[in-house]
Amino acid sequence: MMPARSMVRMIVANTLRSPKHFVLSAFGIVMGIAAFVFFLGLSTGVRAVILGKIFPLEQVQVVAPRASLLLGEKRLDDAIVDTIRKRPEVAEALPRMNLNFPAYGKGRFEGQDLRFEVGGFADGIDAGFVGDSPRTAELFRDWEIVEKDQPKVACEPAPPDPDEDDYYIPPAPAAPAAPAAGTPAGPTSGTTASPAAGSVGEPAAAPRPRGYKNTCPKPDLYYCDESTRVCTRRVPVVVSPTLLELYNGQFAKSHGLPTINSDLAEFIVKRGGLGRMRFTIGLGSTIVTGSNAKIDRSQRRRIEAQLIGISPKAMPIGMTMPIDYIRRWNREYLGEEAAGTYSSIIVTLKNKDELAVFSQWLQDDLGLRLEDSLGERFATAIFLVTSLFVLISFVIITISAINIAHNFFMQVSERRRELGILRAVGATRRDVRLIILGEAAFIGVIGGLIGVGLAVSCGALVDWASSSYLPRFPFKPTTYFAFESWIWLSGLGFSTFFCILGGFLPARRAALLEPAAALAQT
């Protein structure tokens, strides 16, 4: 057998000496591989957006079935969580707990007063579950427990403002704070807000003087709690990328607010740090007109929270905080049973293939069910569309392989004398076969590289057109494509494989040529 170096040199020289043959052979494979890589990159990119941002599919969610007259209501409690954790197919089971009583939030953002309902739109999860970034992991903690043994710093809470703090009922005796000049920014200062409707509290008798100064150390992190009158760490809150997209896509535009890129930390730093991301939550009050929730007015109080990050683990439409805050508040406002009842349990399976087994056990043994996942449906739809695209690509590639076979048959016929000369000077049948197959493989590699390059270029063109001409919409990605290494390596592999396949029979025919007969060609 001829030395590999000589063979490679001969293959490259033979291929490049006939550009027409190269183009005829490679054109189809370039198109096929470009289509294959483009469609696979597109579907992988779209899948990443849909399943990564819109409908995260990392875990399954266990929920209780709707209450029925016969079976009553099934509660998700610690015992259920423990039972699920003991299942062999379960890697992790973490409960979520909804804030199940009225609450509403208020804050200032970019000079605007924002009011929003929190009751029903907030939940809690284990602090360790939200570790998407070191910064989030550091801040997303139950600070009441973390700082339980630390000395408390007494402080003077912000006085009530009847124009703004309409849910606020001051605990007696409430002494007004000494005014401090030059610090207008704060959760309790700002322009007059529209009055809240519904079950809002009674306005305070005296107007609040402007210029309240937060005297707590680290005022960007601590506020003065009005019920305990000690400096208290603000409740850390994360929101989902879904909410961020809805804000960027619709809300920000409607209200003339700046959009927030996915790097929230950068955004926060630009706006003066965490202190600017704070807002108050009025526990027990609501802005929903006609709410039937019965919370005693004396129970209503105000706490402060601050947005610390974005996490796909957060509630899609709402906010998420460490679960113990929610547990304590549910206990405070609704009682012990509410503090021990979870809204759902997030289960991470060791192997996704065991989902069916787990689901069946859940239904049969515990009478629970898995939350219908839109993500699963989208995943199936994406899989089907991807399969169709890949099938089309393979049809193109197969036709290309047939075209390559046809071209190589012609080549072998045209190069009979050349092949005879090679045999006369010492080439074996195997050498001839490998030379032809090598030429086919070389076309495959080059064609594959061009095809991958074409696909990536087309992808870049689509992304550029999208960013330049398409208006912003929720979840509009910066790129629709994910050209992961396995995709282009598969493209190269298939390209080479199909070209070799196309060259197989011509190579066999070339190898079987008798040198004397080949040399007889004029």
Partner 1 sequence: MPVGGCYGAPVSGSPVICVRDVEKSYGSGAARTQVLRKVSVEIQPGEMVALVGQSGSGKSTLLNIIGGLDQPDQGEVSVLGLNLQTASEPERARLRNESIGFVFQAFNLLDHLTCLGNVVLPAAFSQKDASHAQERGMESLRRVKMAELALRRPSELSGGQKQRVAIARALFASPSLLLCDEPTGNLDSQTGKEVIDFFRELNSKDNVTLLIVTHERRVSSIAQRVIAMRDGKIVETTDEALAEAGPS
In the set 154, 424, 460, 461, which binds partner 1 (CB under 8 A)? 424
Of residues 14 and 240, the one with the C-beta less far from partner 1: 14
- Cα separation, 309 vs 314, in Å, equals 10
Q: Please work out, in degrees rounded to the nearest 5, the angle formed at the alpha carbon of residue 14 by the alpha carbons of 8 and 20.
A: 135
CA distance 418 to 24: 21
Binding of partner 1 by 510 (CB under 8 A): no
Those residues whose C-beta lies under 8 Å from the C-beta of residue 427, and which sit 6 or more positions away, are 2, 435
Q: Of 126, 147, 418, 463, which lies in the binding site for partner 1, with binding defined by CB under 8 A?
A: 418
Q: How near is the Cβ of 34 to partner 1 at its closest, in Å?
A: 30
CB closer to partner 1 out of 226 and 431: 431
- Which of 67, 426, 468, 469 binds partner 1 (CB under 8 A)? It is 426
Among 331, 429, 508, 509, binds partner 1 (CB under 8 A): 429
Considering the rule CB under 8 A, would residue 125 count as an interface residue with partner 1? no
Under 8 Å between Cβ of 483 and 456: yes
For partner 1, the binding residues in 398-417 under the rule CB under 8 A are 417
DSSP per-residue letters across 287-301: --TT------GGG-E
Distance of alpha carbon 408 from alpha carbon 314, whole angstroms: 59
Return the number of the residue (3 or 290) whose C-beta is nearest partner 1. Answer: 3
Phi, psi of 223 (to 5 degrees): -135, 170
Nearest CA to 223 out of 180, 257, 274, 286 is that of 274
Asked if 423 is part of the footprint of partner 1 (rule: CB under 8 A), the reply reads yes
How many residues bind to partner 1 according to rule CB under 8 A? 29
422 Cα distance to chain centroid: 59
Among 4, 13, 175, 180, binds partner 1 (CB under 8 A): 13
One of 152, 255, 430, 472 touching partner 1 (CB under 8 A): 430
Distance in Å, CB of 16 to partner 1, minimum: 10
Chain length of the chain = 522
The helix or strand, by DSSP H or E, that contains position 403, with its residue range, turns out to be helix 374-414
Name which position in 156, 225, 226, 431 contacts partner 1 (CB under 8 A).
431
Q: What is the DSSP string of 329-344?
A: HHHHHH-HHHHT-BSE
DSSP-derived 3-state class of residue 118: coil
Residue 22 or 39: the one with the smaller Cβ distance to partner 1 is 22
Q: Residue 166 is encoded by which pair of tokens?
A: 């309409």
Stretches 78-86, 221-229, 439-447, 514-522: which one binds partner 1 (CB under 8 A)? 514-522
Name the residue nearer to partner 1 (CB basis): 14 or 495: 14
Nearer to partner 1, 112 or 428 (CB): 428
Give yes or no for residue 17 binding partner 1 (CB under 8 A). yes
Considering only 9-17, 177-185, 205-213, 348-356, which stretch makes contact with partner 1 by CB under 8 A? 9-17
Handedness of CA 267, 269, 274, 278 (dihedral sign): negative
Q: How far is the CB of 434 from partner 1 (least distance, A)?
A: 11
Calpha distance 192→199 (Å, rounded): 19
Give the residues lining the site for partner 1 (CB under 8 A): 1-3, 6-7, 9-10, 13, 17, 417-418, 420-431, 514-517, 519, 522
